[in-house]
Amino acid sequence: MIKRAVSVALCAAALSLVSSAAYAQCGGASWYGPGFNGKRAASGEIFNENAMTAAHRSLPFGTKLRVVDQNSGKSVQVVINDRGPFHGRRIIDLSKAAATALGFRNRGVTSVCIERM
C-alpha cells in the first residue's frame, strides 16, 4: 500500500512539472469580441470581450500567458479560455481588452511572442 502511495505521489509530481514547463511561441495575433461577447467559450465560460482572455489552439484552459507585442513592446497577461485562432499562421486570438491594452486593436493583427507564466 505504501509503495502504491509513493508511486501515485511521484506521478502527480511529474505531471506538475510537465504542466508548468516553459512554453514560448512567436507569431501572429488577432483579436475578437463583437459577435462573441456573452456567448459560451470553449472552456464553458461566458466570453467577456472586456476581460483579459485569449484563445489558443492547444494550451490548457486556465493557462496564464504573457503576451508581448513585437511592434510596440507592450505586454499583457491573459488567461486561455477559448480555442482558436483557425486562420493562417496566427497563434493566438486576444480579447478586445487585451488588443486595446497592446495597442493593435485598430490594426486588427500584430506580431507577438507568448510565454507561459
Given a cut of 70, the residues of the chain with pLDDT beneath it are: 1-21
CATH class for the domain made up of 22-116: mainly beta
Q: What is the pLDDT of residue 14?
A: 35
Q: What is the pLDDT of residue 22?
A: 85
Q: What is the pLDDT of residue 102?
A: 98
Q: 117, 14, 15: which is closest to 66 by C-alpha?
A: 117
Q: What is the pLDDT of residue 20?
A: 54
Bridge partners of residue 25, in order along the sequence: 114
Q: What is the pLDDT of residue 88?
A: 86
Q: What is the pTM of this model?
A: 0.81
How far is CA 69 from each of CA 2, 74, 99, 109, rounded to the nearest angstrom?
Answer: 50, 6, 9, 10
Query: Which residues, in sequence order, are CB contacts of 108 under 8 Å at separation 6+?
Result: 30, 31
CB 50 within 8 A of CB 97: yes
CB 111 within 8 A of CB 67: no
